[in-house]
Amino acid sequence: MRVTLCVVGRLRAGPERDLIDDYLTRFDRTGRALGLGPVDVREVEDRKGGGMAAEAALLEKALPSGAAVIALDERGKVKTSPDFSQDLAKWRDDGRSDLAFIIGGADGIDPALRARCDGALSFGKMVWPHMLVRVMLAEQLYRAASILAGAPYHRV
């Protein structure tokens, strides 16, 4: 099952990019044998200042056709890492060939796009910078693959 991160904003070189690249490489290596991955990151940027609606249009264009779509949103469901890993396994086992995660910009995700999603995931009740959410999602993808592989990375 291919995984796509559809995100608002361009990530420049720096510590966040290094962390994301590291975790996504780990996910690709661990997930390959499990039928997970590769990960594709699709960055969109609204250069015309059209706000959330314009960002939503760009994000929709970036989504793979037929993908299960999960929004990263503070109103989403808070899950444990093992529960998240089981969600990945279920989507894969149900025959989904594509899974996409949406990370909005500074103002969040347009309500119309959020309503179209198959689900929403939250990393807690606090609001996180969207660049940091990328790092956290990349780490959780790797952690989920490690859990499914029975590797010792995740400790209870």
> Residue 1 in contact with residue 96, Cβ under 8 Å?
yes
In CATH terms, the superfamily for domain 2-149 is SPOUT methyltransferase, trefoil knot domain (3.40.1280.10)
Helices (H) and strands (E) in the chain, counts: 5, 5
What is the rounded CA–CA span in Å between residue 83 and residue 32?
20
**Known binder of ligand: residue 136?**
no
Sequence spans of domains, the chain: 2-149
State pLDDT tens for residues 10-38.
989 999 899 999 999 999 999 999 999 99
What is the rounded CA–CA span in Å between residue 6 and residue 108?
13
**Known binder of ligand: residue 104?**
yes
pLDDT at position 46: 85
**Known binder of ligand: residue 91?**
no
**Known binder of ligand: residue 35?**
no
**Known binder of ligand: residue 141?**
no
State pLDDT tens for residues 137-152.
999 999 999 999 999 9
Placement of tokens 């200042």 in the chain: 49
Spell out the per-residue pLDDT of the chain, length 156, in tens: 999 999 999 989 999 899 999 999 999 999 999 999 999 999 999 888 888 999 999 999 999 999 999 999 999 999 999 999 999 999 999 999 999 999 999 889 999 999 999 999 999 998 888 889 999 999 999 999 999 999 998 876
What is the rounded CA–CA span in Å between residue 85 and residue 43?
25
Give the rounded distance of the alpha carbon of 156 from its chain centre. 23
Which helix (DSSP H) or strand (DSSP E) does residue 35 occupy? Answer: none
pTM over 0.75: yes
pLDDT at position 127: 87
**Known binder of ligand: residue 1?**
no
Placement of tokens 């299960």 in the chain: 68
CA dihedral angle for residue 84, residue 32, residue 101, residue 25, rounded to 10 degrees: 100
Cis peptide before 38 (omega within 30 of 0): yes
pLDDT at position 156: 65
- Integer distance in angstroms from the first to the last C-alpha of the chain? 27
